[in-house]
Amino acid sequence: MNLEKVIFGFFILLAATLNFGFFVGEVDNPAHHDVYELFAALVVSLIATVLKFGDRTQIGAVHLATSLVADLQLIAAAMVWGYAVHVSGAGLTAAATANVVSLSGGALLANLVSVVILIAETIMQRR
């Protein structure tokens, strides 16, 4: 068993599951979406991105691209959340929550593509 591949797969799947956990719930209800879960999803996604830098293959490039997309979406979601809570006078409204969750949904899609690529790559490997 290759420990590097285990760690790589672990962080890819953890990024996807944390993002999914944040995404699930009523899209406009702030009580269904925890800021700490969004933060955890962002941190783990950034770690997964760093782990993808070493791969020089075409599949590695696609892994990196999907990870960068997820990072950008989650950073944008965190910025919208931060703006809504700390800058705007209205606070975290239903509309702001819907924007954050929508951005998180885009990151979730990118994470799912990365997981599918990981599974396909695993199936294609020969012993």
Place of tokens 């068993």: 1
> Residue 57 above 90 pLDDT?
no
> Residue 53 above 90 pLDDT?
no
Residue 117 confidence (pLDDT):
92
> Residue 127 above 70 pLDDT?
no
Residue 54 confidence (pLDDT):
76
Torsion of CA 80, 81, 83, 88, to 10 degrees: 120
Q: pLDDT, tens digit, for every residue of 10-47?
A: 999 999 999 999 999 999 899 999 999 999 999 999 99
Residue 114 confidence (pLDDT):
93
Q: Which amino acid does the sequence have at 123?
A: I
Residue 121 confidence (pLDDT):
87
Residue 125 confidence (pLDDT):
81
Q: Where are the domains of the chain?
A: 3-124
Residues 98 and 118: beta-carbon distance below 8 Å: no
> Residue 96 above 90 pLDDT?
yes
* Structure tokens that stand for 88 in this block: 């705007």
Residues 38 and 100: beta-carbon distance below 8 Å: yes
- Across 48-75, average pLDDT: 91
